[in-house]
Amino acid sequence: MIQLGGEKFKFIDVFPKILTVPDSFVVRNNKIQTTKDKTKESHGEAKLYISSKNIMRDFYGHEGFHATCFMLKQDLINYLNILKIEYLNPSQNYRGMENFSALWEERMNKIVHLQNEIITFEVSDQNQIKGPRGYVNSTDMGYQLIRELSLPLVSYILVKKLSDTTGSELYYWKLFVDFEAIEQMKSLPTVFAYGKSKLQAQETKEAEKQIEEEVTNIKRGRDGQQKYREKLLEQCPFCPFTMVADDRLLIASHIKPWAVADEKERTDPYNGYMLTPTYDRLFDKGFITFTEDRHVHISNFLSNRTCKQLGLEDDKFIQMLPMDKKRIKYLEFHRKSVFKD
């Protein structure tokens, strides 16, 4: 049994796919600006692509299903707090980015003043859409909140199937921030449209200058990452899980993600561990985290089957895991903002 929003539920399964929020799904202010003519931009679609129809219906029910879903008010507050850095310093050219600071305040205020701790909504199978792709849709307030709060490509949804005390199946939706995607977006040079007028020529020069600055920043970032890796290897010369010491197979993983760390934190070797690829991915995506006394915690957004296949054991003591006061501080952030609790 697990407890959510003051109520107890029985855990059944985890949906095997990450639902990355697409640009087509979000409200207009959140959409990515791709043309100068804003009138040509769509307002977004309400339907959400889930997966292939077979996988979707195996999880939610038979063709034409109507599934009762819910989110937690506190989850949405946490999500907005974590995503605030993207609202204040956007990594993408969002349509409403000029007013993003005010939008964040407005949206946070809206969530804080919701009366219910549990926000329920129903999604329906869009079986009228031909082809193998499975979609859901809803007009309920909770579903529309996802469209309003999510920023495309840097937000994603994980879903658990649960049952309540009456045996009814429910689906717990939770929004997460993709720190890796934010980092990638910020490292991409901006694409500009080139024209023939004098004004456009001036814009072209400014664009070229901006691209040059962005490329320089990317190179500087790569140099910083290499130095970070070298310093981290001195402290952590092997993976504490596998004991692999071949540095060609080790990844310098950040505890506080690069996308939300400041310049000092990004190159601080105490903000990291050397891990083999599988464990790096688990840690980076928040499927595992660590306690101050070197125990590993496993997210319950990983299915029992996956944990068995990977040999993961919750609360296992990792004797060779480096731990010190600085790492403990960084791990506080990881447990609160990265780990999928």
CA dihedral 319, 320, 325, 329 (to 10 degrees): -90
- Spatial distance between the Cα atoms of 98 and 107, rounded to a whole number of angstroms: 15
Output 338 or 202, whichever has higher pLDDT: 338
Chain segment 289-322, per-residue pLDDT in tens? 999 999 999 999 998 889 999 999 999 999 999 9
**Which pLDDT does position 219 carry in this prediction?**
44
**Which pLDDT does position 329 carry in this prediction?**
97
Chain segment 111-153, per-residue pLDDT in tens? 999 999 999 999 999 999 999 999 999 999 999 999 999 999 9
Chain segment 217-268, per-residue pLDDT in tens? 544 444 567 889 999 999 999 999 999 999 999 999 999 999 889 999 999 9
**Which pLDDT does position 205 carry in this prediction?**
55
Q: How far is CA 121 from CA 20, 66, 144, 170, 283, in A?
A: 19, 10, 9, 10, 31
Burial of 3 (0-12, 13-18, 19+ CB in 10 A): exposed
| Closest to 251 measured CA to CA, from 223, 221, 219, 228 | 228
pTM of the model: 0.81
Residue-by-residue DSSP string for 161-199: EEE-TT--EEEEEEEEE-HHHHHHHHTSPPP----SSHH
- Spatial distance between the Cα atoms of 28 and 163, rounded to a whole number of angstroms: 35
Q: How far is CA 111 from CA 21, 176, 188, 196, 292, in A?
A: 19, 16, 33, 47, 33
- Spatial distance between the Cα atoms of 108 and 113, rounded to a whole number of angstroms: 9
Residue-by-residue DSSP string for 93-156: -BTTGGGHHHHHHHHHHHHHT-S-SEEEEEEEE-TTS-SSEEEEE--SHHHHHHHHH--TTSEE
